[in-house]
Structure 1
Amino acid sequence: MSKIESALDKTVAKLPLLKGWVMSRLCKVWQKISPAFSRLHKIDYASTKSFVIKYKWRLLILAIILFAGSKAYDHFFPASKKQGGGVQTITSIVTEKKDIPLVIEATGNIVSNSIVDIRPMVTNKVEKIHIKDGQEVKEGELLFTLDNRTDTANYEKLKALADDAQKQYQRAKELVGKNFISKAGLETALANAKSAQAAADAARVQLSFDFIRSPINGKAGIINVFPGTLVQASNTVISATNASSTSTTSSMVTITQLNPINVQFVIPEKDIPVLLESKQSDVPMKVQVTVGNNTQRVFNGEVIVVDNQIDPQIAAVRVKAQIPNEKYELLPGQFARVSLNANTLKDVIAIPSEAIVMNPKGRLVYVVDKDDKVMPKPITVSYEYQGTSVVNGLEPGQRIVVEGKQNLRAGSKVREAKPANAPAAQTK
């Protein structure tokens, strides 16, 4: 320490000599340039113009050198360093690994799980209607009764003939045992019995067409026929509308299964690999559905089928999910927005998307070191959803700037806008 103190004393002693030397040099420089200042009043426009024309290339080169030097100085000595690094207020978080659901957004429509148009199998007149508009019906429940008098009479006649043919066959069996008739006569009696029974069975089926029952559990729509309406065995119920009567050209009634109900949507081709990978696992894919403009009411369901081919016109695959609908809040045809949880990204770094800065070289974030100085860190984004980005290039425990990054440069000094909270995902 004594050597250092003696050196400092010698340096301080020489300061007056150094000051005198600097002042003498400045006086000599002033003596050289003072005549030039005295001649400034003689400079006019003509002399200035001739000087510029004569040395224009030298002046241009000098300007380029000065400009390049200024830019180089700003690059190697940023404002934050030259001015002492003014402290900027920021908000930051500490990165951590977490599981992020991989969500695919899509749009589609609500569709019925099962829908049946009730149409007649025979041409006949409606005798009785057993249901009302909008009524819930069970599978096998009687919906309509047609005029069955002719079919009933035909069935009873053929049933009687079948019973008689069966008796004749039994009598023929007894006579064969006594050798009163040949075996050929027995075979003829058997054929007659079978033929008569088949005719009776066909008549019974024909009679059943007069009693129209629901093939599924569901809810009936608007009934389009009335007692006395003539319905035909065709694809449509033929009728007309005029001033005295009302009729329709659609089905007698439509039965729609509303609980559960389905939503059908399409997934872009780029997301199909993720979708198929999730389908192969035993865990069902979950969906969240909103309909119309009501985004507050969310319906939860599961994917039941992914189509086995891609539609080349739209480069997408159709997907169908099923949703419970006990209160009948969903109806077929409604527009639906679907969020499909296709997979879960395990142990990834997820940060707020607003922390990412875009520049010509790509994306980066500002990392704060232990001295509260920031440095840019290049990153890549592998997935982004609703303000959260899954990134590569960061490690757990790094503190990154979220807000206040607009004027930051490498080496900028920062301070936190508010006190840090203990959890890593909170502001630090």
Structure 2
Amino acid sequence: MRAVTWQGRHKISVETVPDPEIVNPRDAILRVTSTAICGSDLHLYDGYIPGMRAGDIVGHEFMGEVVDVGSGSSLKKGQRVVIPFTISCGQCFFCEKQQFSACDNANPAETRDASELLMGHAMGSAFGYAHLTGGYAGGQAEYVRVPYSDIGPVIIPDDLADEDVLFLSDILPTGWQAAINADIEPGDTVAIWGCGPVGLFTIQSARLLGADRVIAIDHFPARLALAKSLGAEILDYRQVNVREALDEMTGGIGPDACIDCVGMESHGFTLDNILDQVKAQFYSVTDRPHALRQAILACRKGGRVSIPGVYGGFADKFPLGQLMEKGLTVKSGQTHVQRYTGELLDMIRDGKFDMTSLVSHHAPLEDAAAMYRHWHDDQDDYTKIILKPGLEKTIVQNAHAMADA
């Protein structure tokens, strides 16, 4: 089969690799019909996530048709399913608490020791995201093996198109959990750093949970325009001092909740971020947490900070004193996808989420290397890319341009 592989920093290639096979009774094999490139994949592309090996198959946002099942699978051949990016056994201490991304069984013994050393405890597992998280092959491929297929896959009815439900795999539940972790109350003002796909779903989620005002912060005009279309007030951090603007907009109090949807590769030419970028080039730090620092400093006293943005290791210049003195509550973590997919599917059916306006491009799987370059270098034009295995010729569709035509 053909699959998208990581070959090193800024090196993605589509290769012919062995087809996946059933290796456990709870496995299923999926023929992938749609798969997306996630912002988290850019951390792999930039070489900031440890534990990648040349030839690893990437991708953790995918769906498709079941073509084979083990004897312990609850799926049936021919079903259309969306697969959560978190691989979870459903039976361990953490899964029973519905903390699925912390599953203690999915990370195999040969990979868990390194993550335990780095993180303090063994990490949960995910598709296509380094050997620290299990070394599982990802879904940017024609076929993929799905472990624990009796836990989590979302069966999709035929009347819903792939594009309506694909993001149940990651970014929709991630945005939803980000808003839930912010403990949003009716009347709240919520500030969100980052208007990428997760940020856009977080905006929608915050409003659904009762936020009175949502303020979105970014610098890409197209992403800010999308945020505004979803009901957010917008701030371009190149044009304003964000902390001063937020103070003015909230009468000097600050937002009730601040959500960092940026993660470990903040943009910007602030002094702290420039120092982070220099240190990152020499691998003396792994993260550039400027957005998180700004969120902590901007949040009102007694407020809440939610961190769905991915961080990979150690950061310096962290405003720990400010966090403590202001009495902030912080919640973070990889998404417990399986906890939310049922209710979110119902909400999609009820039209509560805009699932498609953030999609800017569709492309064949064979164009993955070029799409990664565009996703990395042209983020104002490329807001979300869906790859389609099986397309034979190069057809790149810009959904925004088609909508304007």
Q: TM-score, normalised by structure 1?
A: 0.19
| Larger relative contact order (Cα-Cα within 8 Å, sequence gap ≥ 6) | 1
